[in-house]
A and B are shown apart, each in its own frame.
Chain A
């Protein structure tokens, strides 16, 4: 046990000596920034901290640069919202399995939460078989969550239902939480808007889109099998090269709409195409959030 968390720690450890880990931690801690201004304590300035947070008086007294740590609530829960399903067992544009990218992203944020002493839980599955875990702190719990994510995203899992799951979360998750929604390119702004409006009233929304492979841009000679229907797609792109352009246009429009919706609702979004994307994308996400989106 602990393999998944260990792997994520290894991934994050690359950043330990660099400012990025601090950026991550600082970013995570300030997710609630602006909601309440409880003064917590002072700590050493590390690279990446916002200059505005420096407590100049304390710094003058102490002799080294200190910054004020603002925390909205000492402990707040992170809820991983994972529609999962067989779609998550499909391929990302980088050729990895989507579930691996999702686990890495959820693991990285979960680990930050655990380090912060926060509780992590997960709501997963499609309506009818939704499973909500208990809310706990600790790496062992995080590991079990990540294992469950893998189990939920098998080749033969039931198809996921993002809108349905978010509806369930809106009805059943109480208290103020940070929702980490692990979505993919099946998300359509038009369908999501009502439930997201409902959710943002109570929760903080972090949106991670795990990219789906562009079916018009597979390597030459490879065939595309749709995981939902389990059918091969005819190789039409070879006959009609203009399909790639049409698809790119449609996809750009969809992402644009989704990004606009999320921005309007105050949700922070990141799109991940590979596991190597995870840490930089999360840093950018948290940074943007800290700077007021």
Chain B
């Protein structure tokens, strides 16, 4: 709770105080109007009835003064714009994650786990954009970067289910469009990575960008890009590549590790598809850690409820009593 316009509240209190002092002075000096000079008013002021009336009047005026104070103070409080503030880092939300899945036969289980895991994660997203690119011989954008999480979750789940049915019963076929007879080769990972890198939009914006790459890095054939070219492109655009590799250790795995680390990401070796959940959460954490280069922003939400409530109650009480005790 802090006061954004504390000076306004202070000014209001000061103005009220000054007004009160001036009014009091004027009242002491005597209002304009007819004044009768009288002697021996003690004959009146010593009467018990007078003393009673006087103390009653004093009590009423004191009560009204207290109420007026209770009107002015919440008014000043409300005028100073009380706000609940919280530290928030909007940049953390400002990121793009591209899921880039190799849909060659060896990857089905891993892909399914990655998709399901991100479908879960997407329920907690706020501001992040997520996209899905599937590739084999050529890359297909399942859906571009979006923050429509309903769509994201549905799509991710449908594609995850698709790995079981491959388009039967009208369900989605993850492999659809990823096969091109005119391209020599399958699992063209460098081409996939390059496609994913180019699928990021608004290159002029400084957004943390990451590719979650599901692949075993077993390339068959020649693509347009070499490994170095594809990952170099990613590095150039500041895209980190995190790879989930279900393969065993060996040359492809080591190559993948080196390449992903060049981009600032890393490669996780997947022995158990169930571990995907932990890995995706770790990727989330790592990505989050990369972010707050800027000062965290202080988010303030005006919270005028209590002062306004107090003001209304005190004002009503004041008006009620003033009306009741009117002369």
Contacts and interface: CB of A to CB of B under 8 A. Distances in A.
A185 interface: yes
Given A221-B34, A238-B327, A226 B57 contact: no
A107 B54 CA distance: 41
Interface string B23-66: 00000001101111111111111011110011011000000000
Nearest to B45: A233
Contact of B50 (A186, A213, A224, A246): A246
Interface in A243-270: 243, 246-247, 250-251, 254
A228 B41 CA distance: 9
A225 B36 contact: yes
Q: Which of B33, B34, B43 has the most CB of A within 10 A?
A: B43
A89 B31 CA distance: 21
A280 to B, nearest CB: 24
A275 interface: no
A216 interface: yes
A60 interface: no
A250 B37 CA distance: 21
B200 to A, nearest CB: 80
B285 to A, nearest CB: 74
A234 B38 contact: no
Contacts of B48: 246
Contacts of A232: 30, 35
B39 A223 contact: no
B34 A223 contact: yes
A185 B43 contact: yes
Contacts of B44: 215-216, 233, 243, 247
A225 B37 contact: yes
A223 B47 contact: no
A242 interface: yes
A34 B1 CA distance: 96
A236 B57 contact: yes
A155 B39 CA distance: 11
Given A240-B49, A240-B53, A246-B50, A224 B43 contact: no
A84 to B, nearest CB: 11
Nearest to A90: B39
Contact of A223 (B31, B40, B42, B50): B31
Interface in A78-127: 86-91, 98
A233 B41 contact: yes
Among B31, B35, B37, B53, find the residue whose CB has the most chain A CB atoms closer than 10 A: B37
B34 A239 contact: no
Interface residues on B, range: 20 to 34
Given A222-B33, A238-B327, A239-B57, A247 B47 contact: yes
Contact of B36 (A185, A213, A234): A213
Contact of B39 (A98, A221, A239, A246): A98
A219 interface: yes
Given A239-B53, A246-B50, A225 B30 contact: yes
A227 interface: yes
Interface in A33-86: 86
A90 B44 CA distance: 15
> Interface centre among B48, B50, B56, B57, by most A CB within 10 Å?
B50
A235 to B, nearest CB: 8
A279 B88 CA distance: 95
A243 B38 CA distance: 17
Contacts of B53: 236, 239-240, 243
A247 B41 CA distance: 10
A87 B34 contact: no
Given A240-B53, A247-B47, A225 B35 contact: yes
B59 to A, nearest CB: 12
A212 interface: yes
Contacts of A140: none
A91 B50 contact: no
A6 to B, nearest CB: 27
A10 to B, nearest CB: 27
A90 to B, nearest CB: 4
Most chain B beta carbons < 10 A, residue from A212, A235, A236, A247: A236
Contacts of B42: 186
A218 interface: yes
Closest 3 CB pairs of A and B: A87-B39, A90-B39, A222-B34
Interface of A: 86-91, 98, 155, 184-186, 212-213, 215-216, 218-219, 221-228, 232-236, 238-240, 242-243, 246-247, 250-251, 254
Given A98-B39, A186-B39, A232-B35, 13 more contacts: A87-B39, A90-B38, A213-B36, A215-B38, A219-B36, A223-B34, A224-B35, A225-B35, A234-B57, A242-B49, A243-B53, A246-B49, A247-B43
Interface of B: 30-31, 33-45, 47-50, 53-54, 56-57, 327
24 contacts: A88-B39, A90-B38, A91-B37, A185-B43, A186-B43, A212-B39, A215-B41, A215-B43, A221-B33, A223-B33, A224-B35, A224-B36, A225-B37, A227-B37, A228-B41, A232-B35, A233-B38, A233-B44, A233-B45, A236-B50, A238-B327, A239-B57, A240-B49, A246-B48
